[in-house]
Structure formats: C-alpha cells, structure tokens
C-alpha cells in the first residue's frame, strides 16, 4: 500500500506539472472549464476567443494530460 500511495502521489505531481506545462491559453481554458464549470461560450467570452478555439484548447489539454497518465 505504501508503494501504491507513492505511485498515486507521483502521478498527481506529474499531472500538476503537466497542467503547469500547458500553453497559457490552453491552461486557462482548462481551469475555467474544470475548476469553475464555465461553459465553452462563457470561456470564449472571458478569454476573447472563438468557441471553436476554446473547444480545441480543451480537447488538446485533456489529451496532453492523458498522455502523462
């Protein structure tokens, strides 16, 4: 069990670093969506982006984080 805990902690650290390593706009889209539960249209308004761009950022952010897992 201690090994599993360590593994989980390590995964969490890597994921946190992966979030930190995301491009600026991509990370902002992810945080506004995951942490604040803003919708794509709202994120687009907040960051002065098109909804399509927000969708692409969210898709790529999740894919990059999954790759770290």
Partner 1 sequence: MSENEPEIRQAVMDWMAAAGPPGEHLDPETLAAYHARELPDEEERRLQDHLLVCRECAELLLDLEGLGDPGFGRDVEIPAGTGEALWERLRQETQPKTVLPFAPRRRAVPPPWMSALAAALLVAVIGLSVWVAALRQTVEKLSQPEVNARVLELVPLGTQARGETATATEVPSRDERFTLVLSNQKRGDFQAYEAELVRTGGGVVRRETGLVPNPNVYGSFTLGETRSALGAGDYRIRLFGLRGGRRELLGEYALRILP
User: Would you tell me which residues interact with partner 1 (CB under 8 A)?
Assistant: 11-12, 15-16, 18-20, 24, 28, 30-32, 34-36, 38, 42, 45-48, 62, 65-66, 69
Distance from C-alpha of 37 to C-alpha of 29, rounded to nearest angstrom? 10
Query: How far apart, in whole angstroms, are the C-alpha atoms of residue 69 and residue 55?
Result: 21
Min separation Cβ 48 and partner 1, Å: 6
* Residue closer to partner 1, measured from CB, 47 or 56: 47
Least CB distance to partner 1 at residue 25 (A)? 8
Nearest-CA neighbor of 47 among 62, 33, 61?
33
């Amino acid at each position: 069990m201690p090994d599993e805990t360590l593994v989980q902690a390590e995964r969490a650290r890597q994921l946190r670093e992966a979030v930190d390593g995301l491009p600026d706009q991509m990370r902002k889209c992810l945080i506004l969506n995951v942490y604040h539960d803003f919708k794509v249209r709202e994120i687009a308004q907040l960051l002065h982006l098109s909804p399509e761009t927000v969708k692409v950022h969210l898709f790529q952010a999740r894919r990059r984080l999954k790759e770290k897992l």
